[in-house]
Amino acid sequence: MKVLIYGSGAREHALAWKINQSSLLEKLYLCKPNDGFADLGEVIEATGFEQLASISKEKNIDLLVAGPEEPLVNGIVDEFRKVGIPAIGPAKDWAMLEGSKAFAKEFMQRNNIPTASYEVISDEKDLYNVLEKFNVPIVLKADGLAAGKGVHIANTRPDAEQTLIEFLKGRFNKASKRVVVEEFLEGPELSLITLWDGNTLLPFIPARDYKKLEEGNKGPNTGGMGSYCPVSLELNEYEELELYVKKLETALKNEKADFVGVIYSGLIMTKEGLKVLEYNMRFGDPETQPLLMHLDSDLLEVFKMAVNKELDKVELKWKPGQTFCVVAAAQGYPVSPKKGGEIKNIDQIISDHGVTVFFAGVKKQDGKLTADGGRVLSVCQTGVYAQKYIYDALQKLNFCDKIYRKDIGEVSLSKEVCKKNEGCCDSCGF
């Protein structure tokens, strides 16, 4: 198969890395890759989706894998459909499950999918009537895409009022002219990636993303500072997750959701049970990095079966243990990240520590790879000693006063059982 991957982050690097291992792959094409993985395929440049689709047709490309949300919401898949190229990702209509929080809430409500109670507001004059219905903390969400920054949790009523006014006045331009106001939920969060072929919803193993900048889940929200999979769950939690997948599958069938692609459910395990925080219509970043490293099946074969509406025949295979991913960002991220430092000895660090690195904000300058943005790279590894290898590698990395969280993942061995004292867990200290 000839495959085109669209997008420039570590998620797309991981997709390219995994698809490159497929026995079905004839040729990989990339659109907008960063300089850290552009050499994994032939790069296509185009001025818009229409031109990209027409170039792809000329090159006999068989499948588009669209990475980020903006191109989906802006219609990349619609253009590829016009020239008859299948895609992993919905057209504009179903991309709205991510493109509009109000649309997603209505979908959940219609289908009895548990979620926080909510109101939609677009006129400042309704502010008091709406806020009156909620206790603090109150969650405010810009309806449209806001690059992951559109959620505000207000701890006081004056903060909720002031922020809601700012949103409605256009803090996120058109995206926040309509706002979803919702009940605050508490509990551990899970990212559940599923693949949908129009008939069957196929779940991946549950993953966890660390959205806050600082250890202990403190500091500002970011695009994600690390992740791991699978998340250890109790039996009843697995059962709840299974029931949720069935419910979502039924909802998609009932609504005749006519696309092949990813549905990422942002879930929260509350005391009253599992609830949905949000839908994304793409792979998560950074969850995709450990998920694809942990996947033992041929991803392209799975995509091909999805396009042929055969996901009911797929049984995904996973490696044993867990896979971890720690994101290194540039000093100043997420507000004003430093740019330009060389990422020295990266190949040596990768081979010395046996880790896999997926690049995001990087650029080649005079043949040298340099940090060029907020989240610079993801360091990943599978297995019992994975966290130690990752953190050893990160200590050796040297660019732009890098920052990273030191608490990503579960402690694999408890204090009671660890007698090795090999720096393998919290009790040894890595």
Contacting positions for ligand GLY (CB under 6 A): 209, 224, 280, 284-285, 287
- Of ligand GLY, ligand AMP, none, which one sits near residue 372, judging by CB under 5 to 8 A according to partner kind? none
325 binds, among ligand GLY, ligand AMP, none (CB under 5 to 8 A by kind): none
Residues 230-249 that bind ligand AMP (CB under 6 A): none
Shortest distance, CB of residue 62 to ligand AMP, whole angstroms? 33
> From the CB of 209, what's the least distance to ligand GLY, in Å?
4
The one among 189, 214, 237, 240 contacting ligand AMP by CB under 6 A: 189
Print the SS3 string covering 345-412. CHHHHHHHHCCEEEECCEEEECCEEEECCCEEEEEEEECCCHHHHHHHHHHHCCCCCCECCCCCCCCC
Is residue 266 a contact residue for ligand AMP (CB under 6 A)?
Answer: yes
| Measured CA distances, 366 to 42, 348, 369 (Å) | 21, 19, 8
Q: Residue 423: which residues within 8 A CB-CB, separation 6 or more?
A: 388, 429, 430
Which of ligand AMP, ligand GLY, none binds 116 (CB below 5-8 Å, type-dependent)? ligand AMP
**Could you tell which of ligand GLY, ligand AMP, none binds residue 405, using a CB distance below 5 to 8 A set by kind?**
none
Does 334 sit behind a cis peptide bond, omega within 30 degrees of 0 on the bond before it?
Answer: yes
Q: Compare residues 285 and 372 and give the one whose CB is closer to ligand GLY.
A: 285
| Comparison of 62 and 209: residue with beta carbon closer to ligand GLY | 209
CB environment 392-410: b (16+ within 10 A), e (fewer): bbbeebebbebbbbeebbe
**Which residues in 314-373 contact ligand AMP (CB under 6 A)?**
none
Residue nearest to ligand GLY (CB): 284
Q: Which stretch binds ligand AMP (CB under 6 A): 15-23, 28-36, 163-171, 181-189?
A: 181-189
- The per-residue DSSP string of 171-215 comes to TTGGGGSSEEEEE---S-EEEEEEEE-SS-EEE---BEE--EEET
Backbone angles phi, psi at 209, to 5 degrees: -115, 140
Least gap, CB of 207 to ligand AMP (angstroms): 13
Total residues at interface with ligand AMP (CB under 6 A): 13
Q: In the range 267-286, which residues lie near ligand AMP by CB under 6 A?
A: 277-278
Residue of 12, 69, 182, 285 interacting with ligand AMP (CB under 6 A)? 182
CB of 284 to ligand GLY, least distance (A): 4
Least distance in angstroms from the C-beta of 221 to ligand GLY: 10
**Least separation in angstroms between CB 162 and ligand GLY:** 26
Query: What is the smallest separation between the CB atom of 223 and ligand AMP, expressed in angstroms?
Result: 11
Q: Does 184 bind ligand AMP (CB under 6 A)?
A: yes
Window contacting ligand AMP (CB under 6 A); options: 169-177, 180-188, 227-235, 297-305: 180-188
Choose among 403, 409, 358: nearest CA to 386: 409
Q: How far apart are CA 402 and CA 221, in angstroms?
A: 17
* Smallest distance from ligand AMP to CB 153, Å: 6
211 near ligand AMP, judged by CB under 6 A? yes
185 binds ligand AMP (CB under 6 A): yes
Question: In the complex, what is the shortest distance from the CB of residue 416 to ligand AMP, in angstroms, rounded to a whole number?
Answer: 32
The residue from 83, 136, 151, 233 that contacts ligand AMP (CB under 6 A) is 151
Contacts 24+ apart (CB under 8 A), 299-302: 299/15, 299/18, 299/19, 299/22, 300/1, 300/3, 300/19, 300/22, 300/24, 300/25, 300/63, 301/22, 301/23, 301/24, 302/195, 302/202
Nearer residue to ligand AMP within complex by CB, 119 or 278? 278
Q: What whole-number distance in Å separates Cα of residue 180 and Cα of residue 103?
A: 10
Q: Which does 280 bind (CB under 5 to 8 A by kind): ligand AMP, ligand GLY, none?
A: ligand GLY
Phi, psi (deg, nearest 5) at residue 141: -130, 120
Q: In this structure, are strands 27-31 and 2-6 parallel, antiparallel, or unpaired?
A: parallel
- Closest approach, Cβ 46 to ligand AMP, in A, equals 30
Query: Cα–Cα distance between 101 and 325 in angstroms, integer?
Result: 28
Identity of residue 74: N
Element (H, E) at 288: helix 288-294
Could you tell me the smallest distance in angstroms from the CB atom of residue 259 to ligand GLY?
Answer: 19
Could you give the 3-state DSSP secondary structure of residue 55? helix
- Residues 97-116 binding ligand AMP (CB under 6 A) are 116
Binding residues for ligand AMP, rule: CB under 6 A, are 116, 139, 141, 151, 182-185, 189, 211, 266, 277-278
